[in-house]
Structures are given as C-alpha cells and as structure tokens.
Amino acid sequence: MSTSRRTFIKQSATAAASASFTGALPLAVSSGESRRARVAPSDQVNIGVIGAKGMGWSDMRSHLKIAGVNCVAIADVDKSVLTERAEDVKKMRGAAPRAYDDYRRMLESKDIDAVIVGTPDHWHCLAMVDSLSAGKHVYVEKPIAHTIEECQVMQAATRRYGKMVQVGQWQRSGTHYANAIDYVRSGKLGRIRVVKVWAYQGWMKPVPVQPDGAAPAGVNYDMWLGPAPKRPFNPNRFHFNFRWFWDYAGGLMTDWGVHEIDIALYAMNATAPQSVIASGGKFAYPDDASETPDTLQAVFEYEGFNMLWEHATGIDGGPYNKPEGIAFIGNNGTLVVNRGGWEVIPETTTENGIRQFKTPALPLQYNNEDILDRHTLNFVEAIRKNDASGLKCGIDTGSVAAINASMGNIALRTGRKVFWDAAANQFKGDAEANALMKAGYRTGYTLPKV
C-alpha cells in the first residue's frame, strides 16, 4: 500500500481528535463502481473474511461502506454461509468474492491485503497468527482469544510481523466514549473508588436441551472444532450459541465484558488487577443446555479502586436502569456511560440548611454515531498509512480487556479469590488458576510459536 500519499494524523483519546477523524476517508454513499473510482489503485484495500456468519459479516459490511475497500474472498466451514455471503457481496458490489472452505488456502492469495477474523473465539489465535504470517493485516473480533496464553501469543505475533491489527472492541472509536473518558480524567468526579461494569441481557432466553446428531450437510464440523476438544455435533454448540460453552468461549463475561472492561480500565489508566473474586451460576435457567453462568458478579481489585462486574440474562433492568454500561463512582458524583450516551449524576451536600451539588449535573449526552463504521474506517486508514500508532484498539489494548475478563472466569471456576503476580505473569501460588490460563489444544493442533 502507498505510504506517502498523505500525512498521517495521529489520533488521541480527546473528543476533538475523534471528531476531526470523522471525515478522513469518504464513506460509501452511491454505487460500487463510483466509490472505487474515487480511490487510487494504490489505495485499494482487498479484504478476505474468515468466519462470515455473524460479526465477521457485520464487520465486512461495515468495511464495504468505505471507498476503495473490496471483499475479494470469504472462508467458512459452512457452505450455506459461503453461498449466502457471496450473494450478499455480489448484491452490494456487483461481483461475488472467491469462496473457500479452508481459510489457509485463502491466505495463499497474493491479492488479499487484510483479513477479518470472525470465527468463534477458540479459533481467533490460530487464524490471526496464520494471517499475519501470510503477510496480511488483521481485524480480529473480540475477545481476541479464548485464553490468556493465546492473548500473549497474539501480542508477540503482532510485534514480530509488524502488520496492522485492529481488535473489534469498537466502543473505543466512539466520540461520546472519548468525551466521557476525558471527564472521568478531569478530576471533577473527585476520587473514584468504585467502577461498575455490567451487561443485563433481557433478550437471552433458555438454550433448550437438544440431542447430539449429525452435522448439517455442507458443514466441516471437525474443522469447526479445530483446537477444541473432540465432541459429537450438537446444534447448541454451533454458530451463535457457542458463546455459552467453555470449550469455545467464556460466556457473557468475555462476550460483553471486554467491551465494558476496556472503557473502564482505559479511563482509569489500569491494566492488571491485584486480585479477583467471583460468584455466580446458572440461577435463571438452571436446566438449560448452556454451561457458562447466566448470573455473575466479580470484584477486581486495582491500585486505588475496585471494579465490579455483573451480568444477568433474561433481565434488562441493570444498574441505573440501563441494560449495559459503565459507572465511574467518585466522591463528587457518578458518570454513567453506555452505547446510548453519557451523563453525570452529582453527589449532594447540605451546608447551613442549603442542599448543594458537589459537581454540576450533566444531562444525557447522546451518541449519534455509527461507531462500528468509525472503527473499521480507523483500521483502513492505518493500513493505507502503514502506521499502527493511530489504531483505536490495537492488539495490546484488546489483550488488556480479554485477559481481565478471562481472570474473572478463572476466579469463578476455581471458586476462590485469585491473586495476580504481574512480574511473573501468573497467579500467585495457584496451580489450578495457572492451568486455566493455558490453551490446551487437542491433538493435531499446536499453539503458534512466535
């Protein structure tokens, strides 16, 4: 890609910088041919997708709104998904991408500049490292990995290969999140001693128990399992619902947790906890097919403050009457932010019989952006400039959120408080917790060595 066509503008977390970036590249607003005509051949970005059923396709569709971005290949283990998404691209751009049932063959293509990894979590590490080693830039869905060990391998691979890697924690590209973070860091809330993060998901109903059976026609189930343990096919473990099984993912703690934990820790300039304790279980749907808890509370201790995570399925009425969000609770007031916007709720004091606010109240500051579109635009601009410094959510950022979320699950699964030794990069004197950090690939699959 051309690296001299424009001067790269480094991004900061300030609202002004975020706002100025909005027009960095034209978003698609008309026909595919006219969009491509506005971008020089050297700035065309050809993308391949690995795993196109859910977020992989949402990410690709967002990228296709950017002038000069093309979907040239799709890899998926499900032929029905390949057929559907190839037709979707053809409708949008007039030509169908190449289809592959094995992403490794797709990576041999020299015309692919970047890859979107939209597989289930347990495939993220292998697919990303393979893509980097093939010389491709990578947009990898969150959480970046299924285990702490994989997160660390992916960080090392990014450093080794020097390509652009953007993690799909797209809240990082939201102007209203940047504005809220600026306010948190301003000191107006006073000393912040508690940060609450939560995901209450009322849409989630019980996962009905179903018998094992044959995989659907056209599905390479063994390839879908990949490094996960060998098991009979069950529809509950396939496509979307894989999230609720320990073999492939970490439930709501990692699925939603990385989004909210990312913003919380970034605002507080924190990375690793001193300790974590968690409690929860299948309290809402004790007899359904899922394994991960539908109800969970976890306390993360950092220097100077605690972070409280909680999630619940089947309920939308979370803290501050919001289904998801982050609350920074200070001595002078509380800032609450979620995807809809942010607000400040002041503490009060009474002096000489007069009730006063400790900090000014601030009504809801609405979000009016499509933040995913901003996030994918940010990735493409980094590719065109060959400069990772402006990435809103690079691999190290994604690792902080994924590792902390994994620690919450490890504390739950061990049933005790776990203590982190940052210098040793492991839990203190806890063999069981340290074993849960490892990838544990089945025979035939090997964790990449970087």
How many CA atoms does the CB half-sphere of 23 hold within 13 Å?
2
> Can you say how many angstroms the Cα of residue 262 is from the centroid of all Cα atoms in its chain?
9
Token pair 């989630």 is at which residue? 204
For β-strands 45-50 and 295-302, DSSP reports them as unpaired
For residues 258 and 212, give the distance between their C-alpha atoms in angstroms, rounded to a whole number: 31
Token pair in block for residue 308: 């409280």
Using CB atoms within 10 Å of the CB of residue 272, give its burial: 0 to 12 exposed, 13 to 18 middle, 19+ buried: middle
Token pair in block for residue 396: 């190290």
For residue 54, the model assigns a pLDDT of: 93
Residues of the chain with CATH 3.40.50.720: 15-172+371-395
Task: Spell out the residues 6+ positions from residue 116 whose beta carbon is closer than 8 angstroms to its own.
Answer: 47, 48, 49, 50, 56, 59, 60, 63, 138, 139, 140, 141
For residue 352, the model assigns a pLDDT of: 83
Contact 165, 158 (CB under 8 A): yes
pLDDT digits (tens, 9 = 90+) for 156-176: 999 999 999 999 999 999 999
Token pair in block for residue 336: 């609450």
111: left (phi over 0), alpha (psi -120 to 50) or beta: alpha
Task: Spell out the residues 6+ positions from residue 58 whose beta carbon is closer than 8 angstroms to its own.
Answer: 372
The b-or-e profile of 49-64 (16+ CB within 10 A means b, else e) is: bbbbbbbbbbbbbbbb
For residues 377 and 387, give the distance between their C-alpha atoms in angstroms, rounded to a whole number: 14
Residues of the chain with CATH 3.30.360.10: 175-368+400-435
pLDDT digits (tens, 9 = 90+) for 94-140: 999 999 999 999 999 999 999 999 999 999 999 999 999 999 999 99
Domain boundaries 15-172+371-395, corresponding CATH code:
3.40.50.720
How many other C-beta atoms lie within 10 A of the C-beta of residue 400? 19
Q: Strand, coil or helix: what is 363? A: strand
For residue 131, the model assigns a pLDDT of: 98
Q: For the chain, which ranges sit under pLDDT 50?
A: 1-37
Any idea which architecture 175-368+400-435 has in CATH?
Answer: 2-Layer Sandwich (3.30)
> What does the DSSP 8-state code read for residue 285?
S
Contact 324, 260 (CB under 8 A): yes
